[in-house]
Chain A
Amino acid sequence: MQATPQVAQSANHRSPVRPLSPRSSIYRWRAPMLASFAHRISGFVLLLFIPVYLYLLSALTASPEDFLRVLDGMHSTVGRFMLWLVGTALIYHLVNGIRFLLLDAGFSETREKMRGNARFSLVAGVIGALFLAVYLW
């Protein structure tokens, strides 16, 4: 059992305390780290959209008045912004998710390629956000 300067020994466990995984404060800000972090953020945004999606689904399939009311809501500033936010999160999470699957499958594991395709994901997210903004407004 070795005590490292950054990892404290916990009092109530006998096993050595492993470093907690995302030590965000000591990592350098690199594209792969940013891509991974943005994947979590966009995933969380999409999670929050699930109840909203259910509300939209229930109202859009209810009476014609409900349909029109929700359609008006979607066209309001708040509605458009929410659609833009979740749409952007979806585009990024999809592109970067495919990237993660390819990395899991063993493609492009060198450091340079990881940085390159992390940038690709981030740029795809930004371009997707711009296209979506043009479409929604």
Chain B
Amino acid sequence: MVKNVRYGTAHNGLNDWFFQRFSAVLIALLMPVAFALLFAVFDGSLNQMQLLNLLDSYPGRILHALFLFALLTHAYLGIKVIVEDYVHIVALRIVLMGVLLVIAVVLGLWWFSMIWAWGS
């Protein structure tokens, strides 16, 4: 078993590891749908009304919100891995991850409010 030993600055990598993979499974199921819709719009097989009917249905809104949380979580954890590997100045890591967290929250709020504002 994994003992509760503190390693490095993150102390324990298991939570990050788990959430990165858990969000990956959700994204693997949902992101192809988002891209399929985008390409359907691109090649003209989906017009604006049809797109809106899919997006502002309740299943559409809920799946989209789930997708956005999973995607932003996954992106944050992925960049954290890259920053921990390539940025060797610890103070800079903290600043970078703080900035990224703020950007992720702002994007998430914008996205979330957009999803739930359609049709109102």
Interface residues of A (CB under 8 A from B): 20-22, 40, 43-44, 46-47, 50-51, 53-54, 56-58, 60-61, 64, 67, 71, 74-75, 83, 87, 90, 94, 97-98, 101, 104, 135-136
Contact = CB atoms under 8 A, between A and B. Distances in A.
A20 to B, nearest CB: 6
A50 B75 contact: yes
Given A22-B86, A60-B41, A104 B79 contact: no
A22 B31 contact: no
Nearest to A74: B42
A90 B35 contact: yes
B78 A101 contact: no
A80 to B, nearest CB: 9
A22 B87 CA distance: 11
A122 B78 CA distance: 20
Nearest to B119: A61
Nearest to B48: A67
B78 A47 contact: yes
B42 A61 contact: no
Given A20-B85, A46-B75, A136-B42, 14 more contacts: A20-B88, A40-B78, A44-B79, A44-B82, A47-B78, A47-B79, A50-B71, A51-B107, A54-B110, A54-B114, A71-B42, A87-B35, A101-B21, A104-B21
A21 B85 CA distance: 6
Interface residues of B, number: 32
Given A50-B75, A101-B25, A61 B55 contact: yes
Contact of A58 (B71, B78, B114): B114
28 contacts: A20-B85, A20-B88, A22-B86, A44-B79, A46-B75, A47-B79, A50-B72, A50-B107, A51-B107, A54-B107, A54-B111, A54-B114, A60-B51, A61-B48, A61-B51, A61-B55, A71-B41, A74-B42, A83-B39, A87-B35, A87-B39, A94-B28, A97-B28, A101-B21, A104-B21, A135-B39, A135-B43, A136-B42
